[in-house]
A and B are shown apart, each in its own frame.
Chain A
Amino acid sequence: MLLVLSEDHKEHLSFLPKVDSAVVGEFGRIALEFLRRGTSPKIYEGAARKLSVPVETVQHGVEGLMFLMTESSKHMISEVDFLDSVLVLGFGEELNQILLQLYLQHHAQIRSILSQLPSNLPAYHNLEWRLDVQLASRPLRQQVVPMVTMRLLLVGGGAGGHSSRVLQTDPSSLLHLISTLEAALATMKSSHARRIFRNIK
């Protein structure tokens, strides 16, 4: 599959052949850091000063490079298709090879970062539990009631950070919960599920 680059994108990338390969390599590194951790205007300003170009040009160059890498990684395009897609930019052979190497070395890592992006629901992080025996309450004294208190620790879910929920249950409800979850796990081994997983791979 070939990537189709927009005119704006091509224009942003047109800055790359005007600098030497070491700088392109450096831009590649900045672009990958951008994916991992975001970016700061200081990085762009420093590079713009050294190259005597406006900050916007550097920013567009790095962002264009990052977009090229993420789109290529997203579709898992082959080496040949990558080179053909980049050919349309009219760069020299050396620059094309640098871009290809950047792609080949980092596409697995980029895919792993991209896979973590759409996390809308909070995800399981940890479950802490405690077995309690309730001995008395305001309406009733001299009790012996076993209770399980749990703290479900979650991560993500738009809030970004950690959240937790405290829950309480009696032992028989807990047993029911356990058997329901085990039944859910068991459906992964059903012939229907196996057929689907086989067909996806």
Chain B
Amino acid sequence: MLSISQLVDMQWKLGMAVSSDTCRSLNSPYVSLLLKIAEPSGQICQRSFEMTIPQFQNFHKQFKEMAAVME
């Protein structure tokens, strides 16, 4: 086995960006993911990132393809 980190948990959130310092009137939905990763040393670290809806749909498509390949 390679010493690669393992995915331990995945949390998601769906939100709507309403306003920002550069644009006071936004209307932008996004998905944010929080991954809990166990490093080879055993230490757990967290990585979070955001996607727009089209990006998330692409993300979802990748996983569906992975699942299809495994069948």
Residues of B within 8 Å of A147, CB to CB, are: 15
Interface centre among A132, A135, A138, A147 (most CB of B within 10 A): A132
| A172 adjacent to chain B (CB < 8 Å) | no
B14 touches A132 (CB 8 A): no
Chain B interface (Cβ < 8 Å from any Cβ of A): 11-22, 26, 29-30
CB-based contact B13/A128 at 8 Å: no
Say yes or no for A137: interface residue by CB 8 A criterion: yes
CA gap between A134 and B15 in the complex, in Å: 4
Residues of A within 8 A of B12 (CB): 137-138
A133 and B30 alpha carbons, distance in the complex (Å)? 10
| CA of A128 to CA of B19, assembled, Å | 11
Q: Does residue A198 face the partner (Cβ distance < 8 Å to B)?
A: no
Known: A132-B15, A136-B14, A147-B15. 20 other contacts (CB 8 A): A127-B21, A128-B21, A129-B21, A130-B17, A130-B19, A130-B21, A130-B26, A131-B17, A131-B18, A131-B20, A132-B30, A133-B18, A134-B13, A134-B14, A135-B14, A135-B15, A137-B11, A137-B12, A137-B13, A138-B13
Chain A residues in the interface with B (C-beta under 8 A): 127-138, 147
In the complex, A133→B14 CA distance in Å?
Answer: 9
B16 and A133 form a contact (CB under 8 A)? yes
- Neighbouring B residues of A138 by C-beta, 8 Å: 11-13
Residues of B within 8 A of A130 (CB): 17, 19-21, 26
A156 → B minimal CB distance (Å): 22
Residue of A nearest to B29 (CB): A135
Q: Are A132 and B17 touching (Cβ within 8 A)? A: yes
Nearest residue, chain B, Cβ from A127: B21
Residues of A within 8 A of B13 (CB): 134, 136-138
Residues of A within 8 A of B20 (CB): 128-131
Q: A24 CA to B67 CA in the complex, in Å?
A: 75
Q: How far is the CA of A132 from the CA of B26 in the complex (A)?
A: 10
20 A-B pairs with C-beta separation under 8 A: A128-B20, A128-B21, A128-B22, A129-B21, A130-B17, A130-B19, A130-B21, A131-B20, A132-B15, A132-B18, A134-B14, A134-B15, A135-B16, A135-B29, A136-B13, A137-B12, A137-B14, A138-B12, A138-B13, A147-B15
Question: Which of A129, A134, A136, A138: most chain B CB closer than 10 A?
Answer: A138
Q: Please give the distance in Å from A130's CB to the nearest CB on chain B.
A: 4
B50 vs chain A, min Cβ distance (A): 9
* Interfacial chain B residues near A129, Cβ < 8 Å: 20-21
With the chains together, A78 CA to B28 CA distance in Å?
Answer: 62
